Amino acid sequence: MEAMIRIKGLAKTFTLHHQHGAVLPVLAGIDLEVVRAECVALHGASGTGKSTLLRSIYANYRTQHGSVEVRHDGRWVDMAHAGPRELLEVRRATMGYVSQFLRVIPRVPALAVVAEPLIAAGVPQAQAEDRARALLARLNIPERLWSLPPATFSGGEQQRVNIARGFITRHPILLLDEPTASLDADNRAVVAELIREARAAGAAIVGIFHDLEVRSCVATRLFPLRRPEAAA
């Protein structure tokens, strides 16, 4: 199967300048390759850098050593060193990221929130909105909420809007950070189904799943993370 993510020797350290310059190494010497139709579950104790690794792949976090290559538009792009324009292009067309919490924007209705990434990818608005409706329905968001901004939704509802937004584009690479955290059993099952479908369609997925049931349902392998040797 075609490799989609190639991480080599990745290391990341946080330097907290306003806490006496405390240096926190979080990732060290990470090597990982992910191919199509795989779902790699990152696992390790709290503080071992699972979220950090995910964000580093998405170039949300910066890294100090190594490379994070992703397959985009028939070539490899190193997210750790590419320029802003390329990074934006990769995010737009190839790689999606579902964060733990929905970032709430005032006034924008749920339907628009979900449809937005698809419209940004070039799909006409009407079509994008149709797909958004289908996903919201599947995730059991009541129709009366579709035209409302998610600011007043419950945590679980917000997370489901977040997931819909993440899955609508069918990007070939998906990064999932605790996608089922605030969901009940039924909705967890729906999300697991969505992940499996994406995998079946050839997506390369990297995720953090604290719910072991979901993890056993969707993950094809585990990638363990350890705390790096503390620096100081």
Binding site for another protein (CB under 8 A): 15-18, 55, 59-62, 84-85, 87-88, 105-108, 119-120
CB of 98 to another protein, least distance (A): 14
Residue 48 or 52: the one with the smaller Cβ distance to another protein is 52
Alpha helices in the chain (DSSP H): 50-57, 84-93, 110-120, 125-138, 155-167, 185-200, 212-218
- Minimum gap (Å) between residue 210 Cβ and another protein: 21
CB 173 within 8 A of CB 135: no
Task: State the minimum distance, in angstroms, from the CB of residue 45 to another protein.
Answer: 22
The residue assigned the tokens 């958004």 is: 132
| Shortest Å distance, C-beta 187 to another protein | 27
Distance CA 223, CA 206 (A): 9
Minimum CB–partner distance for residue 176 and another protein (Å): 17
Q: Is residue 200 within 8 Å of residue 172, measured between CB atoms?
A: no
* 52 Cβ contact partners less than 8 Å away, ≥ 6 residues apart: 12, 26, 27, 61
Residue closer to another protein by CB (options 97, 209) is 97
| Cβ closest to another protein, residue 119 vs residue 190 | 119
Minimal distance, residue 84 CB to another protein, in Å: 5
Of 107 and 221, which has the nearer Cβ to another protein?
107
Q: In this complex, which beta carbon is closest to another protein, that of residue 93 or of residue 120?
A: 120
Torsion of CA 88, 92, 93, 96, to 10 degrees: 110
Our CB check for another protein shows the closer of 61 and 167 to be 61
With residues binned 3-state (H G I as helix, E B as strand, rest as coil), the percentages for the chain, rounded to 5, are 35, 25, 35
